[in-house]
Structure 1
Amino acid sequence: MTTIKRNAALFAASAAVLSLAVPLTTATASTATAPEPPPLDWTKCEGTGLDPRQECATVEVPMDYSDPQGRKITVAFSRIPAENPRARRGALFMIPGGPGGGSLGHPSGEGQKLPQKVRDAYDLIGFDPRGYGRSTPVSCDLERDDLDRTKLFPWPAPDGSVTENMATARRMSDACARNGGELIRHISTANEARDLDRIRAALGERKISAWGVSYGTYVGAVYNQLFPHRTDRVVLDSSDDPDHTRVARGWLARFEEGVEDNFPEFAKWASAPGNPDRVARTAAEVRPLFLRLAARLDREPIPWPGATPSELNGNVLRQTMLDSLYDPDNYPILARLILAARKGTVPPAPPAPPETVMQQSLAVLAGTVCNDVDWPGSTSVYRKGVDESRVKFPLTAGMPRNAMVCAAWPYPPKEPAVRITDRGPSSVLIVQNRRDVATPLSGALELRESLGRRAVMVTVDSTGHGAYLDNGNACGDRTVSHFLATGERPARDVICDQDGHGRRVVSGV
């Protein structure tokens, strides 16, 4: 899922054999029969703060890959060329999280954090997924109130009722069906992976390497499953459970354990002596304090002029908690909201992204998570899950098992979700923080098991969402950078200690 910074080896078998592991054979078939794309028209990228070396282009792709000669859409992508042409290996695709995020500017941003030996070896490639940004856009034209994050993450009513959530799901899905056009039906993870292969072909690359983060790890894993003969070195950073029967519904559910894994770290920070945003004297006091405050705000919300929604209620506090646990650098946001609310006041309203960006992001998110797999349509299913979750995981108050827009989605999936298997090239390195609110360690372990011998996993004893060059440590960063630069992985799975220096090799899968 998206972060609050607002703001995936050797080819050991023939492509024919590997294609037996691919449930969506139309992916490779349509690509193989498609005409060669025209030469790319590179232009200066639009936007501020971009590296002057970054250039942009578009590629035309089928809206519906089962009808490759039908309607076309465009996908925008960017490039900063490898800095040492003599050391160049190929292209490193930077696959963004989300769904509903883009990486068009990443070569100028995150890409410049990569060590020199990696920047020397790869063209850095970013892109906007279909439906988003400078690619052919899609929008559900949702009501302004439905753009709020407490609607995206469907928090139940204070008494646990999901009736309003189901009504919201119907209203949002109706808007997507009415305003999203035909494109909304063709937004999916598999199609994003197919689009990446069209970018690969347009660049003239025989194979690509990839660095997928968060939801991007699932895109990377799907690409590696659909196009195993097209992948070189794949890094999957902060991974989702690839369960093809649940997909995003399973990711949402894992917020329960993600919050439980991470809240104690916030509690230690929020009770530390000398912290100007200290909310309690001891870590043990922080959890009950938070739960009492949320319950009070359920009963007595505080007006919050300029914010969306326009009041600080219990669910807004819970959503702020969830958002703040993505990165320890954001702990002060939650602490200051707690301190203000205890006094009956509110801090300045946080800035909201432009509405156009939110509309596109939510449409791509809805299209992806709803088109990838069927969701239950029964209110009773969600009410039962919410009731159980509220008892076991009071911090998340039932949200992770609640009804998203997909509970009322009018379209069945056009194809089965891709099943990630252990058949394919052994070319994947998984890097994962031990404490990650959005993609908990347990989900990454499920991906590790699904990939089997194809992957090696580096578990970093760190806190936050995003491990490589972000919230991880020197040991994890060093291991991933070495793999990207040389192709050498550890022989077995690795645990990186908190100090970033020591590491313990454990038995591989």
Structure 2
Amino acid sequence: MKRQCIIGRRSALAVVIGLSGSLAAVPAAADEPQVSQVRWDTCPEDVVVEAAPTELQCATVPVPVDYADPGGARIDLTISRLASTNPGKRRGTLMLNPGGPGGSGLALPALLVARGLPAGVLDGYDLIGMDTRGVGHSAPVTCGFTPDGPYQANIPPYAVDDAAVTAQAKVVKQVAEQCARRDRNGLLRHLTTANTARDLDRIRAALGEEKTSYLGYSYGTALGAAYASMFPERSDRIVLDSNIGDTHLDRHGMRRYALGMEQSFPDFAKWAAARHDGYGLGRTPAQVRRTYFTLAERLDKAPVAGVDGSLLRQYTFSQLFKKVQYPKLAQLWQTLADGDDTAARLLSGNATADRASSSIDNPLTVFAAVTCNDVEWPENVDTYRHGVAEDRERYPLFGAAAANITPCAFWPYAPAEPPVSVDDDGPRNVLLVQNLRDAPTPHDGGKMLRQKFADRSRLLSVDDTGHGVYVLGDNPCALNTTTRFLVEGKMPEKDMLCRAG
């Protein structure tokens, strides 16, 4: 599956020894550090390459490992900056997050520029990217995941029956134990959304800003919602794009992936049916849907080029993130249906090109840690068996994957504090942006946060399909509405819908 990360070079298939006490034991706001001059310098070489031709500056900001012990061990977070070149229009900083949890965001300012981030935003803000705690250049954590190991995606595989759930339970139990063994410096247990939100406020203070604006995609909406709730008076203009629905990803949130696929798949089916003469996947959307089930069941019994039914389902899910990926998905289906082993390998790289790199270790580790540390997950394997059986019927395209068991069922560290509650007590400064059809973050996520933020927020819905709207999509109404909010502070008077096109 593609991890819950919306921007980056890779397109993946796809993710605490608990502190005693409650939220009261941990400060709701990060204690203000002594203001220090952030020293900007050149970025790490990999960031320079990814950001080219845009030139970014990088720096580090120290933060406590454990905010309950602010005088204890510290780690350095690496941040990046694309500074405004128009001092007369600059109004502050715009912090960015690409999603995940586990996605590197150091090159994100440059990637948004390449996608056409409007000049008004570039004039108005210093764009601040970062690797959040545990990621990339910010004290990276590792569970030791390898490309040839049994754990290669942060959404579990499609479970064809109860036995498949039992088999997956053995895999993820070993994963949880492996992560505990590798957590030699004790950092893994402190990877939480709440702690990362506290880190954002340390970065804000280190930059000398009274407030900060924020643009987050996918899981980045959970982080932004947490920041806006924990530090409402320090949050300026907050844009949350492709919302997961809360400040954490729990079992219910992961199961909504299956709903998202049911809502997004018809767009691909309609597209493929209109090109039946080229791909032969069905003359109608209904026929394309039947082709999916027939092909997946055939591959369950006889994989082609290393692609079994589970991998086909995960790959299809990930390719629904963007319409530009439809042709490659259709070609893969075509070659697999023809049993063309060689062509399928060339097209899909076994549908695991991202897993062929050791780079899966850090993002998968962070995804598991944050997801499992944020909130309690069910521990009984039968709970997942029942959920898989239920969602296999309710959401036949992908339900038996999204409801399957994860390492959180066996995670060795209890959450140190309750998940951050979304707070409606604060300024009206949260714009929620959401496509009507989005595989990993269905429209329900935007509606859920709209209800929780209440009058602090407005929901901008877009009649489109895909994961990511602002700058990443091609809807002029959504682009202009979001830009007006960031540049001029003009929030829509009420929730609004941007029509297709």
When the two structures are superposed, what TM-score results if normalisation uses the length of structure 2? 0.90
Please show how residues 107-122 of structure 1 align to structure 2 within 5 Å. Answer: 107-112=109-114, 113-122=116-125
Q: CA deviation at 1:356?
A: 4.2
SS in 2 for 1:412: coil
Residues 192-220 of structure 1 show CA distances to partners (whole Å, capped at 9, x for unaligned) of 11111111111111100001111001100
SS in 1 for 2:85: coil
User: Would you say how many aligned residue pairs link Structure 1 and Structure 2?
Assistant: 473
State yes or no: 1:317 paired with 2:309.
Answer: no
Partner residue in 2 for 1:256: 258
Partner residue in 1 for 2:31: 31
SS in 1 for 2:459: strand
Equivalent pair of 1:272/1:278 in contact (CA under 8 Å): no
Equivalent pair of 1:4/1:326 in contact (CA under 8 Å): no
| Structure-2 change in CA distance of 1:389 and 1:315 (3 Å) | same
Partner residue in 1 for 2:56: 54
Partner residue in 2 for 1:16: none
Equivalent pair of 1:75/1:136 in contact (CA under 8 Å): yes
Partner residue in 2 for 1:185: 189
Q: 2:90 aligns with which of 74, 88, 91?
A: 88
What CA distance in whole angstroms lies between the structure 1 residues aligned with 2:269 and 2:294? 15
SS in 1 for 2:84: coil
Equivalent pair of 1:228/1:425 in contact (CA under 8 Å): yes
What CA distance in whole angstroms lies between the structure 1 residues aligned with 2:237 and 2:247? 23
Please show how residues 127-276 of structure 1 align to structure 2 within 5 Å. Answer: 127-146=130-149, 149=152, 151-161=153-163, 162-181=165-184, 182-242=186-246, 247-273=249-275, 276=278
Partner residue in 2 for 1:13: none
Partner residue in 1 for 2:14: none
Out of 465-474 and 433-442, give the one that drifted further: 465-474
What CA distance in whole angstroms lies between the structure 1 residues aligned with 2:38 and 2:405? 43
Amino acid across the alignment from 2:166:
T
What CA distance in whole angstroms lies between the structure 2 residues aligned with 1:24 and 1:466? 35
What CA distance in whole angstroms lies between the structure 2 residues aligned with 1:94 and 1:29? 20
Equivalent pair of 2:6/2:217 in contact (CA under 8 Å): no
Partner residue in 2 for 1:494: 496
| Structure-2 change in CA distance of 1:435 and 1:365 (3 Å) | same
| Structure-2 change in CA distance of 1:354 and 1:394 (3 Å) | closer
Query: Structure 1 regions of 5+ residues with no counterpart?
Result: 8-21, 305-310, 500-509
Q: CA deviation at 1:397?
A: 4.5
Q: CA deviation at 1:4?
A: 8.5
Residues 266-285 of structure 1 show CA distances to partners (whole Å, capped at 9, x for unaligned) of 10111114774452222220
| Structure-2 change in CA distance of 1:64 and 1:163 (3 Å) | same
Equivalent pair of 2:63/2:76 in contact (CA under 8 Å): yes
Equivalent pair of 2:257/2:402 in contact (CA under 8 Å): yes
What CA distance in whole angstroms lies between the structure 2 residues aligned with 1:263 and 1:431? 21
What CA distance in whole angstroms lies between the structure 2 residues aligned with 1:4 and 1:393? 27
Partner residue in 2 for 1:340: 335
What CA distance in whole angstroms lies between the structure 1 residues aligned with 2:492 and 2:70? 41
Partner residue in 2 for 1:11: none
| Structure-2 change in CA distance of 1:408 and 1:118 (3 Å) | same
Please show how residues 471-490 of structure 1 align to structure 2 within 5 Å. Answer: 471-490=473-492
Q: CA deviation at 1:23?
A: 5.7
Out of 139-148 and 250-259, give the one that drifted further: 139-148
Calculate percent identity across the aligned residue pairs.
41
SS in 1 for 2:77: strand
SS in 1 for 2:286: helix
Amino acid across the alignment from 1:73:
I
| Structure-2 change in CA distance of 1:335 and 1:146 (3 Å) | same
Amino acid across the alignment from 1:489:
M
What CA distance in whole angstroms lies between the structure 2 residues aligned with 1:30 and 1:231? 14
Partner residue in 2 for 1:366: 368
SS in 2 for 1:334: helix
RMSD over aligned CA atoms reads: 1.9
SS in 1 for 2:88: helix
SS in 1 for 2:110: coil
Q: CA deviation at 1:448?
A: 0.4
What CA distance in whole angstroms lies between the structure 1 residues aligned with 2:34 and 2:268? 53
Amino acid across the alignment from 2:41:
T
Equivalent pair of 1:213/1:466 in contact (CA under 8 Å): yes
| Structure-2 change in CA distance of 1:258 and 1:300 (3 Å) | same
Amino acid across the alignment from 1:110:
L
Moved over 6 A (4+): none
Partner residue in 1 for 2:359: 357
Q: CA deviation at 1:445?
A: 0.2
Q: 1:455 aligns with which of 454, 457, 469?
A: 457
Out of 419-428 and 484-493, give the one that drifted further: 419-428
What CA distance in whole angstroms lies between the structure 1 residues aligned with 2:28 and 2:311? 45
